[in-house]
Chains A and B, each alone.
Chain A
Amino acid sequence: MLLMKKMAVLKSHGLFDIVLEMRGGASLSLTSLTAHELSELLDKRELSSKELTVAHLERIGSVDDKVKAFTTLTAEHALLQAEEIDKKRVHGEKLSPLAGIPMALKDNMCTRGIRTTCSSKILEDFVPPYDATVTEKLNSAGTVLLGKCNMDEFAMGSSTENSGFFATRNPHDLNAVPGGSSGGSAAAVAAQEAVFALGSDTGGSIRLPASFCGVVGLKPTYGCVSRYGLIAYASSLDQIGPLTRDMTDCALVMSAIAGHDPKDSTSAPMDIPDYSKYLVNNVKGMKIGLPKEYFGAGIDPQVLAYLQQAIGKLEEMGAICEEVSLPHTMYALPAYYIIAPAEASSNLARYDGVQYGLRVEAEDIVSMYCKTRSQGFGDEVKRRIMLGTYALSSGYYDAYYMKALKVRTLVKRDFDHVFENYDCLLTPTSPTVAFNHGEKADDPLTMYLSDICTIPVNLAGIPSLSLPFGQVNGRPVGLQLIGKAFDEGTLLRVGYSLEQSTNLTKPLPALKGGSRA
């Protein structure tokens, strides 16, 4: 019904009016619709994928100099893909629900023939000779790739300020960071530059930007989505997932990208569920744990107030919300910042100027390695390589790396223990809303602490979702739902129920605020 009303408005203004003023100055346009709404219009032939793609490219043209979400635009490629899908639709071919939908990929997912930089100078001119499995899956679902999204270099960061090229801005307030490391992906979806995007999450890199930018972000269970063709940061923690405008789109994208992949030996043997079947507006009798460690000191009182409102809503709908404890929570962050850099120091050893990427010439090969890596990697990447190398080096391995792996076991056990009695957990995604550009840039440890609520989940390998829920001074608040391994369904169901019961889950971006640096 709402969609029909929206469409009537759109049509009365002509399909290509990019921004229509309504609802007290808020903007509504083709680019503000969700994938499932657009899919309906495409199916009814009220809209072609080419028209939709053009609308998004125009939107990018008008806002991306402010937001800076993209490292590479693939306009021509997008128009060709859109035309192809339009032809298939005309011929009556059976198409997936995402066919013809314009989307964007984080720039650490390989795209055959399209530059993939990881936002690093060391891969500035790298053109992959193959597609990542997620790229291939979205191609075969008929989606349209608009471009590649900016990120913290090699996914190391929480603000997208560590990109080797430029910082991305938060569409809700250009003075604020979009979160990281998938900041470009989240900002593109929030700024209506793409209908949805994929991000990757090693310690919160989908959920933190989803929270800061007011979109839905899901980190699936480890092994649920293939990592083949994802440029590795920390292989035992990395996982690809969707950033979308609502829960229904989240389920649609998950259905398109999940599943076992023989090309990824850490991929879980599983059938691909139809995630849409979990979109049920009913939480009656569900037991939701509220881990007290996430509600302690440091949480912004206004963020806490929204959380309490969400808890109230869930109880009203018949869920049982109770305090629980995850006693090792405070040890997750230091353990993570040993394990992830240790894995990174090994994964990033491949950037040596031999097979691909930057080479800085030198007389002998070791000098070539050193000069290439020193000029190609940014400050934070070098810091983490050194931290990881140190933690793995002779004499320190047991004190740091082995200790961290043991603490990881304890963090995982905490979750196993509460999930014996609870269906899922509710926490803030971040104790505060988005911080200002430059605010934490000079102090790595303070920046690391931004991920305090998201990191434990990666160590345990379990799924977790961030859902927008209200705004503080124009900056979105994110709720985090944490579930049992392979139980994304419960998270979708709780998220969907919250979404249906309030109007707090779809904040509109202002694209305003301050001067651009």
Chain B
Amino acid sequence: MKISKQDVEHVAVLSRLELSENEKENYTETLNSILEYMELLNRVDTSDVEPTAHVLPLINIFREDKPHEPLDRKMALANAPDEEDGCFKVPRIV
């Protein structure tokens, strides 16, 4: 077993997901078979290999520090599930 039901519960917390018992069983099983398949990678010697996070040789993409036309506040809030006084509204945090 690469990953236990407890691991799945922990990863769900990190992922901000709430799982049903059924989902926990299902994900434990499917993630295990996927992670077992990933074992293939251990056959490759990568000791002297640099990682590739990105294929293009692009670094430090700058633009002039000039203000652009911003998104109109009303437009920015148009999809908000809840709003008040021109701000996004969420449940009490503190």
Partner-B contacts on A (CB < 8 A): 125-127, 129-130, 222-223, 236, 262, 265-266, 268, 328, 330-331, 334-335, 337-338, 345, 349, 352-359, 361-366, 368-371, 373-374, 377, 379, 382-383, 385-387, 389-390, 393, 400, 402-410, 412, 444-445, 448, 459-461, 485
Q: Are B38 and A386 in contact (CB under 8 A)?
A: no
Q: Is B65 an interface residue (CB 8 A)?
A: no
Q: Are A382 and B17 in contact (CB under 8 A)?
A: yes
With a CB–CB cut-off of 8 A, which chain A residues contact B26?
379
With a CB–CB cut-off of 8 A, which chain B residues contact A409?
46, 49-52
With a CB–CB cut-off of 8 A, which chain B residues contact A445?
30, 33-34, 37
- Pull 28 A–B residue pairs with CB atoms less than 8 Å apart, ordered by A: A129-B76, A222-B55, A236-B55, A262-B63, A331-B41, A353-B81, A354-B80, A357-B81, A365-B91, A377-B17, A382-B27, A383-B27, A383-B31, A386-B12, A386-B17, A389-B15, A390-B31, A393-B14, A405-B51, A407-B46, A407-B49, A409-B52, A410-B44, A444-B33, A445-B37, A448-B34, A461-B55, A461-B56
Q: Are A410 and B49 in contact (CB under 8 A)?
A: yes
Q: Is B58 an interface residue (CB 8 A)?
A: yes
Q: Are B30 and A362 in contact (CB under 8 A)?
A: no
Partner-A contacts on B (CB < 8 A): 3, 7-8, 11-12, 14-19, 23, 26-27, 30-31, 33-35, 37-38, 40-44, 46, 49-56, 58, 61, 63, 71-72, 75-76, 78-82, 88, 90-93
The residue of chain B having its C-beta at the shortest distance from the C-beta of A375 within the complex is B18
- Docked Cα-Cα span, A355 to B14, in Å, equals 21
- Docked Cα-Cα span, A265 to B74, in Å, equals 27
Q: Are A368 and B38 in contact (CB under 8 A)?
A: no
The residue of chain A having its C-beta at the shortest distance from the C-beta of B43 within the complex is A331
Given the known A-B contacts A368-B91, A386-B11, are A408 and B52 also in contact in the complex, defined by CB atoms under 8 Å? yes
With a CB–CB cut-off of 8 A, which chain B residues contact A223?
55-56, 58
Q: Are B88 and A369 in contact (CB under 8 A)?
A: no
